[in-house]
A and B are shown apart, each in its own frame.
Chain A
Amino acid sequence: MSWFKRTFSSSIGRKFAMALSALFLLIFLLQHLAINFTSVISEKTFNSLSHFMGTNPVVQFALQPVLIFGVVFHFMMGFILEIKNKSARAVRYAKNDGSANSSWMSRNMLWSGLFILFFLAFHFADFWIPEMVYKYVEVNPSDPNRYYEEVVHMFENPIRVAVYCLSFVFLALHLLHGFQSAFQSIGARHSKYTPAIVKLGKLYSVAVPALYIFIAVFHYLAH
């Protein structure tokens, strides 16, 4: 076995890979939020940024596949680790008090993650696939001003707004453990900077999902 394969099939290597994909997705979430948030501030800015992201070949054909790979890798590796972890304890305890020594979020990453995965499946079917069909299958003429109206239309539906809100609550729960856990998995822990990572993690985990929720609710109420 090559050193590379050996490293990334070890318990530590797998967690390292999991953490790297998590850190990548943390950056993506910020970028996605920044563009979405402009829809609250300026229709013109949102349209121009969305048009750039939707038509730029580097974004569409280089960054988008990397992102999809990152997402798929993260949940596939999550499943692999979960199966291995479950098999490491064949007989369960008759009585187990998990809350005595760990947070609910840390013990339920699978369930918060699965809910986020369902949301991503919904988001793909609801937004991404129709967008791809619109652009690359039907080959509609490029309209740089269609995006804002589409967002407004999307968030007219209260069920969609509710699904968004609930999903981002699960994202917050996932991040409350995941953010600082990713740093631990790559070995980045020191009494000098770990308290800052923990604080930043809490801020990110609450603020980022809250802002996504704000955008959905804002458009629902404002139009």
Chain B
Amino acid sequence: MSGANGLNLTLKVWRQKNDKDKGQMETYQVADISPDSSFLEMMDILNEQLIEEGKEPVAFDHDCREGICGMCSMYINGEAHGPGRGITTCQLHMREFNNGDTIYIEPWRAKAFPVIKDLVVDRSGFDRIMAAGGFVSVNTSGNTQDANAIPIPKADADKAFDAATCIGCGACVASCKNASAMLFVSAKVSQFALLPQGRPEAAERVQNMVKQMDEEGFGNCSNTGACEVECPKGISLENIARMNREYLSSSFKKEEV
């Protein structure tokens, strides 16, 4: 359907049978790709081609394909979610590439994100960090207070909302030269720390989430800012500074129990 504008591309894709396999880059050719197709549609075309050839299709994570679920996780030509800013891989279109290009497609690389198969990595480390404190304990007895009954300054509400737009895709970890999860954790710490409902458990929360983050084997923050640039939701480094303040002040002030 693409006709004269169709792109002929060389793809270098990471193939790995399972978490035990060493894995390697494989080279594939795809022809006549429409510039209007999304990157994931191009991957679908590659997989159809591989199936027709009797080969194993490339495993990759995807779900909503509209930039809100955070599942798609490809490291394309040396950048998380590929070229372009404020987008996930599913929002990347083939018009960003030129006919004859070679495209490198790799999984997120981090010790804390082990490869399950091909481009699929295990991001359950993020789930364990959330389980360690990324929540507000509420009374579910039927007497739950109406959230609107608590006055919240507009500036705080906006910042909390901005932090809460994090979709947990892991592009921050993938982009960071240290595979640090600070941007993700700081967004989750901030979205609660900025609101009065989150304050009673704030000290406990930041301590437990940072402890879990460190145990998962993520690296330290070098403040390069790569995470902020590559984040599809534009989560700010301001959140990392806030988490540093929350963590340090709670370390010095919190009563030990």
Chain B residue numbers with a CB within 8 Å of A191 are: 238
- Identify which of A30-38, A103-111, A149-157, A163-171 touches chain B: A103-111
A62-70, A85-93, A123-131, A137-145: which lies at the interface: A85-93
Residues of A within 8 A of B211 (CB): 10
Instruction: Kindly specify which of B45-53, B192-200, B244-252 makes contact with the partner chain.
Output: B244-252
Q: Determine the chain B residues whose CB is within 8 A of the CB of A180 once the complex forms.
A: 223
Q: CB-CB < 8 A to B104: which residues of A?
A: 94-95
Whether the Cβ atoms of A93 and B244 lie closer than 8 Å is no
CB distance A189 to B179 under 8 Å?
no
A184 within 8 A of B: yes
Q: Which residues of A contact B221 (CB under 8 A)?
A: 11, 15, 185
B244–A185 CB distance below 8 A? yes
Q: Is the CB of A102 within 8 A of B224?
A: yes
A107, B225: Cα distance in complex, Å: 10
Chain A 3-20 residues near chain B, CB threshold 8 A: 3, 6-7, 10-16
A interface size (C-beta, 8 A): 42
Closest residue of chain A to B104, judged by CB?
A95
Cα of A11 to Cα of B256 in the assembled complex, Å = 20
The complex places the Cα of A67 from the Cα of B122 at a distance, in Å, of 45
The answer to the question of A42 belonging to the interface, with a C-beta cut-off of 8 Å to chain B, is no
Report the minimum CB–CB distance from B206 to chain A (whole Å): 9
- Find out whether the CB atom of A181 lies under 8 angstroms from the CB atom of B222: yes
In the complex, chain A residues whose CB is within 8 Å of the CB of B111: 87-90
Which of B34-42, B72-80, B134-142 is the interface stretch? B72-80
Classify the interface of chain B: helix, strand, loop or mixed.
mixed
Give chain A nearest CB distance to B249 CB in angstroms: 8
Find A184's partner among B83, B178, B223 (CB 8 Å cutoff): B223
Are A101 and B237 closer than 8 Å at their CB atoms? no
Q: Is the CB of A101 within 8 A of B175?
A: yes
Chain A 68-103 residues near chain B, CB threshold 8 A: 81, 84-85, 87-98, 100-103
List residues of B (97-119) whose CB comes within 8 Å of A's CBs: 104, 106, 109-112
A120 within 8 A of partner (CB): no
Evaluate contact between B78 and A97: CB separation under 8 angstroms.
yes
Enumerate chain A residues within 8 angstroms of B223, measured Cβ to Cβ: 106, 177, 180-181, 184-185
Residue of B111, B221, B222, B241 ringed by the most chain A CB atoms within 10 A: B222
What chain B residues lie within 8 Å of A15 (beta carbons)?
220-221, 244
A162 within 8 Å of B (CB atoms) = no
Chain A to chain B: the 3 pairs with minimum beta-carbon distance, closest first: A97-B78, A88-B219, A187-B245
Contacts from B to A (Cβ < 8 Å): 12, 14, 25, 75, 77-79, 83, 104, 106, 109-112, 175, 177-180, 182, 210-211, 213-214, 217-226, 229-230, 237-238, 240-245, 247-248, 251-252, 254, 256
Q: Using a CB–CB distance below 8 Å, which chain A residues touch chain B? A: 3, 6-7, 10-16, 81, 84-85, 87-98, 100-103, 106-107, 109, 177, 180-181, 184-189, 191
Would you list 28 pairs from A and B whose C-beta atoms are within 8 A, ordered by A residue? Answer: A3-B251, A3-B254, A7-B252, A11-B180, A11-B221, A14-B220, A85-B180, A85-B220, A88-B112, A88-B219, A89-B111, A90-B111, A91-B109, A95-B106, A97-B77, A97-B79, A98-B78, A98-B226, A101-B224, A101-B226, A102-B177, A106-B222, A177-B223, A185-B223, A186-B244, A189-B237, A189-B241, A191-B238
